[in-house]
Amino acid sequence: MPRETRAFDPDVLAAVREAGLAEARRLGATDASLRVEDVRSQVVSLRDAALETSIDDTELGMGLAVVHEGSVGYAATVEVTPDAAARLAREAVGAARAVAIARRRPVELAPEPSHGEVTWASPHATDPTTVPFTEKLALLEAWSQRLLDADGVDHVTATVRCVSEHKHYADLAGTVATQHRVRLQPQVTAIALEHDGAGFESMRTLAPPVGRGWEYLHGDGWDFDAELAELPELLKEKLAAPTVAAGRYDLVVDPTNLWLTIHESIGHATELDRALGYEAAYAGTSFATPDRLGTLQYGSEVMHVTGDRTVVHGLATVAIDDEGVAAQSFDLVRDGRLVGFQLDRSIAAAAGQDRSNGCAFADSALHVPIQRMANVSLQPAAGDGPTTTELINGVDHGLYILGDKSWSIDMQRYNFQFTGQRFFRIEGGRLAGQVRDVAYQATTTDFWGSMEAVGGRSTYLLAGAFNCGKGQPGQVAPVSHGTPSVLVRDVNVLNARTEGGR
């Protein structure tokens, strides 16, 4: 039997938020919010069909944020009692006092009205963390064995990560939000050793992580059967494929690869806290600064990028964010021009904006909410739009790239380098077999400026990541990115082997 999903006890929550917020108010906090979070995270990972890693971790915690005499303070604990909540209020105010000596400007939060009592759950049939461990193991064993039995596969790694996140939020304005989200990330990698015994090639499934239930692994949103069926043959072809000739290519980039390029070169670059220097010591800044809002030509005219925390099955989708702001959808790039930024309440206020657009998130009750990425998505072409095949037909000499693998981008989000899982040569508008060792390198605005066409709705996929890192101490956020296939002209392609001096 699946274990019961641990639900919050409403009486405990009411007592806890009353105790914490009342104490914060009594101590002179001008803003205060309290979060109780129960996050269950599971990892089941098999190596060559044998269990290697098993994690089943539940973190129940409580955090309280205050603004006190112009300073912020945050305190957190793993105890969830009224006494602990009141103590957190004192500690958070104590923290605000302790840092005041080094505060040069007061912190303000952009106003947000009370949304009253809100209850929300991400749509799902089966909370994946309630599925018995044995069932997870059996599914991954079957997937692994199927690949190991295939010709040319030497090793297989199969992993599924499942999360069930309960959040209870309350603030002095009167918003009380109780939310439950689930998500999961399945990944299977087949490995083939080189025939000469020197090195190997791998190929991973392209199935994205999603805000769905366990039903995702049984065909609701992805065809795993079809994907596992084609993996061995694709890997065999890759192992025998020629290495890529470095040079300039037209690229047709599949959503399974492009989502990460969007994430790194648009998602992070349009976070206003970065642009203002709040991440200068860690995640970095941004070339897309507020003074260029409305004027910066980010890319070609077919480029329309939105941020949202509302899309169904989106990994960053919520009803109310971790500062009590209602989820929204907004433009970031329109007709190729920078028109918006992602905001939280303190950054919105610092930038003179009226309101946050709801991008505050903390990965645990133990961490303070900071501005984190919305689902940042590239919109497909209107109407029927081109198919991926039609985009490929428009290329004389190029590459079709699928699946993400390695990624790296600089601290201002200019210069990036990505690899992938599968690279097909395009010759005369048709696919002409795989090549290997491809890495594409570009400057953000050059790359998006060379985007000649976006695919239609039929090419669109909501992909994403479980592991977006930001902040100190480090926080990890899940986020989705929707994108069509695209055609980008004249991109610099490196040969990863040559780069490695081989």
Partner 1 sequence: MSDGLPPAHAVVDAALAAAGGAGCVVLVEDRSEADVRFATNTVTTNGVRRARSVTVVALADGDRGTSAGVASRSGAVDPVDLVRAALADAEGSPPAEDAAPLLGGGADDRFGDEPATTDLDVLGGVLAALGGAFGRAERSGTVLAGFAEHAMVTTCLGTSTGLRRRHVQPTGMLQLVGRADGGARSAWVGRGTVDFTDVAVEELEAALAQRLAWAAARVELDAGRYETILPPGAVADLMTYLYGVASGADAEDGRSVFSASGGGTRVGERLATLPFELRSDPGAPSLECAPFLAVAASSSRASVFDNGLALERTAWIHDGVLQQLFYPRARAARSGCTPAAPIDNLLLELPGETASTADLVASTERGLLLECLWYIREVDPTTLLLTGLTRDGVYLVEDGEVRGAVNNFRFNESPVDLLSRATQAGATERTLGREFSEWMPRVSMPALRIPDFNMSSVSPAS
Q: Which is nearer to partner 1, 231 or 487 (CB)?
A: 231
**Is 23 a binder of partner 1 (CB under 8 A)?**
no
Helix (H, G, I), strand (E, B) or coil at 299: coil
The single residue among 207, 318, 349, 366 that binds partner 1, judged by CB under 8 A, is 366
Q: How far is the CB of 100 from partner 1 (least distance, A)?
A: 8
CB of 39 to partner 1, least distance (A): 9
Instruction: Choose among 333, 332, 328, 301: nearest CA to 316.
Output: 328
Here's the x/- map for partner 1, 215-244, by CB under 8 A: it reads as ------------------------------
Rounded Cα–Cα distance for residues 371 and 288 (Å): 16
Residue number with CB closer to partner 1 (311 or 402) = 402
In angstroms, what is the minimal distance from the CB of 314 to partner 1? 25
Coil, strand, or helix at residue 27? Answer: coil
Sheet with 305-308: strands ordered across = 337-338, 329-334, 305-308, 375-378
Q: What is the dihedral of CA 301, 307, 308, 309, to 10 degrees?
A: 160
Closest approach, Cβ 338 to partner 1, in A, equals: 17
**Quick check: 354 binds partner 1 (CB under 8 A)?**
no
At 455 the three-state DSSP class reads coil
Count of residues interacting with partner 1 (CB under 8 A): 98
Does residue 87 contact residue 282 with C-beta atoms inside 8 Å?
Answer: no
Query: Rg of the chain over CA atoms, in angstroms?
Result: 24
For residue 375, the SS3 value is strand
CA distance 239 to 152: 9
Q: How far is the CB of 473 from partner 1 (least distance, A)?
A: 6
356 versus 459: smaller Cβ distance to partner 1: 356
Dist CA 99 CA 70 (whole Å): 11
- Least distance in Å: CB of 418 to partner 1? 10
Residue choice 441, 452, 458, 489 for contact with partner 1 (CB under 8 A): 441
Identify whether the C-beta of residue 44 lies closer than 8 Å to the C-beta of residue 133: yes
Question: Per-residue x/- marks for partner 1, 268-297, CB under 8 A?
Answer: --------xxxxxxx-xx-x----------
How far is 114 from 367, CA to CA, in rounded Å? 23
Cα dihedral sign, 346-350-354-358: negative
Residue 98 CB, shortest distance to partner 1, in Å, is 4
Strands 247-253 and 397-402: parallel
Tokens of residue 65, six digits: 């944020």
User: Which residue, 28 or 474, has its beta carbon nearer to partner 1?
Assistant: 474
The torsion angles phi and psi of 397, rounded to 5 degrees, stand at -140, 105
Smallest gap, in angstroms, from Cβ of residue 353 to partner 1? 17
Q: Which stretch binds partner 1 (CB under 8 A): 161-169, 171-179, 362-370, 373-381?
A: 362-370
Q: Is 43 in the site for partner 1 (CB under 8 A)?
A: yes
* Window 144 to 183, contacts with partner 1 (CB under 8 A): 154-155
Beta-bridged to residue 495, according to DSSP, are 438
Give the integer Cα–Cα distance in Å for 358 and 345.
Answer: 8
Rounded distance, CA 116 to CA 169, Å? 11
Listed ranges 48-56, 235-243, 423-431, 478-486: which one lies at the site for partner 1 (CB under 8 A) = 48-56
Report if residue 322 touches partner 1, rule: CB under 8 A.
no
Give the contacts of 302 (CB within 8 A, at least 6 positions apart).
Answer: 336, 381, 451, 452, 453, 454
Site for partner 1 in 376-435 (CB under 8 A): 406-415, 417, 419
Pick out residues in 178-207 that bind partner 1 (CB under 8 A): 191, 193, 196-200
Whichever of 123 and 199 has its CB closer to partner 1, that residue is 199
Stretch that binds partner 1, among 120-128, 294-302, 333-341, 494-502 (CB under 8 A): 494-502
Residue 293 CB neighbour total at 10 angstroms: 17
- Looking at the Cβ atoms of 107 and 172, the one nearer to partner 1 is 107
How many Cβ atoms from other residues are within 10 Å of residue 500's Cβ?
Answer: 8
Q: Per CB under 8 A, does 25 bind partner 1?
A: no
CB of 133 to partner 1, least distance (A): 5
Please say which residue, 287 or 341, places its beta carbon nearer to partner 1.
Answer: 287
- Phi and psi at residue 494, to the nearest 5°: -100, 160
Return the residues of window 61-80 that contact partner 1 according to CB under 8 A.
Answer: 61, 63, 71-80
How far, in Å, CA of 163 to CA of 5, rounded? 12
Q: Which residue's CB is nearer to partner 1, number 128 or number 456?
A: 128
Of residues 82-111, which lie at the interface with partner 1 (CB under 8 A)? 83-84, 87, 91-92, 94-96, 98-99, 101-105, 107
Instruction: Decide if residue 128 touches partner 1 (CB under 8 A).
Output: no
